[in-house]
Structure 1
Amino acid sequence: MAQITVNINGRSYRMACEDGQEAHLQALAEQFDALVKQLRSSFGEIGDQRLTVMAGVMGQDEVFELRNKVSVLETELEGLRGTRDQVMERVQQSEAQLVTQMDEAARLINEMAERLEGL
C-alpha cells in the first residue's frame, strides 16, 4: 500500500492509498484544499475545523447532485434503449416483409418469363 503526504489548509497529512492511486489521491486533496481556501476567503477566519466541515458538506452536496443527475441519465438511457429495441424490431419486420415481397416479385417475373418463352 502506497503512502503520500497531502497538504490541506496549510497542514500536511500522511495518507495511504492503493498502489498506483497516488496521483488520484493527490488531485483529490488539491481540490479539497482549493475548496477550503475558497471558503476561507469567503468567510474569513472561522476556524479550521468549521472550514473543513463546510468543505466536506459542500463536497457531499456535489456528490448528491451528481448522483441524482446520473440517476436521471440512466433512466433516460433505459428509455432510449427501449425505443431503440422497438425501432430495431420494426426494421427487422420491414426487412422481412421486403424480402417476402421481393421473393414474390421474383416468382412472378420468372412465371412471366416462362410464359413468354412458351409463346
Structure 2
Amino acid sequence: MAEVDFTIGHKQYTLSCQEGEERLLKRAAGMLDTEAQQILSQAGRMPEPRLLLLAGLMLADRTSALEDRANAAERELARLKSNPQKVEVPAVPQDLADAFAELAARAEALAQKAEDSLISE
C-alpha cells in the first residue's frame, strides 16, 4: 500500500491508499484543505474536528449544487433528445445552388445534342 502525506488546515496527515490512488487522495485532500483555509482565514484558529466538519459541509454543499446543475442539464438533454427540432441549414448559398442547376441544365442539353447527332448519323 502507498502512503500519502498532506495538510488540511493546520495539521499534517498521513493516509494509506491503494497503489495508483495517490493522486486522487492528494486531490481530495487539496480540496478539503482549500475549504479549511477559507474557514481559518475568516474564523481564525479552531479545533481540528470542528474545522474538518465545516470544511466537509462546505464541500458537500458545493457538491450538492453541482449535482443539481448536472441533473438539470441531463433533464434538458433528455428533453431535447425526445423532441428534436428539425433545423435546416443550407450548406450551399442559394445563388451558388442556382448557378449549379443552370450548369447542370446546360450539360444535359449538350449531352442531348451530342446524343441526337450520333443517332442521326
Superposed counterparts of 1:1-119, under 5 Å:
1-84=1-84, 87=86
Please list every run of at least 4 consecutive aligned residues from structure 1 whose deviation after the TM superposition is greater than 6 angstroms.
Answer: none
SS at match of 1:13: strand
CA gap 1:10/1:43 in 2 versus in 1, 3 angstroms: closer
Higher normalized helix content (fraction of residues): 1
Instruction: Compute the displacement of 1:87 (Å).
Output: 4.1
Q: Distance in 2 between matches of 1:9 and 1:65?
A: 24
CA gap 1:28/1:62 in 2 versus in 1, 3 angstroms: same
Contact 2:4 2:22 in 1 (8 A): yes
* Counterpart amino acid of residue 57 in structure 1: L
Q: How many residues align?
A: 87
CA gap 1:35/1:82 in 2 versus in 1, 3 angstroms: same
* Counterpart amino acid of residue 56 in structure 1: G
Q: Deviations 1:56-90 (Å, cap 9, x if unpaired)? A: 11111111111111111110010111123x749xx
Q: Distance in 2 between matches of 1:34 and 1:60?
A: 14
Q: Distance in 2 between matches of 1:51 and 1:16?
A: 22
Instruction: Compute the displacement of 1:19 (Å).
Output: 2.5
Q: Distance in 2 between matches of 1:48 and 1:17?
A: 22
Instruction: Show structure 1 runs of 5+ residues with no match.
Output: 89-119
CA gap 1:16/1:87 in 2 versus in 1, 3 angstroms: farther
Q: Distance in 2 between matches of 1:66 and 1:44?
A: 28
* Cα RMSD (Å): 2.0
What fraction of aligned residue pairs are identical, expressed as a percent? 29
Instruction: Show structure 2 runs of 5+ residues with no match.
Output: 88-121
* Counterpart amino acid of residue 36 in structure 2: V
Structure 2 length as normaliser, TM-score? 0.62
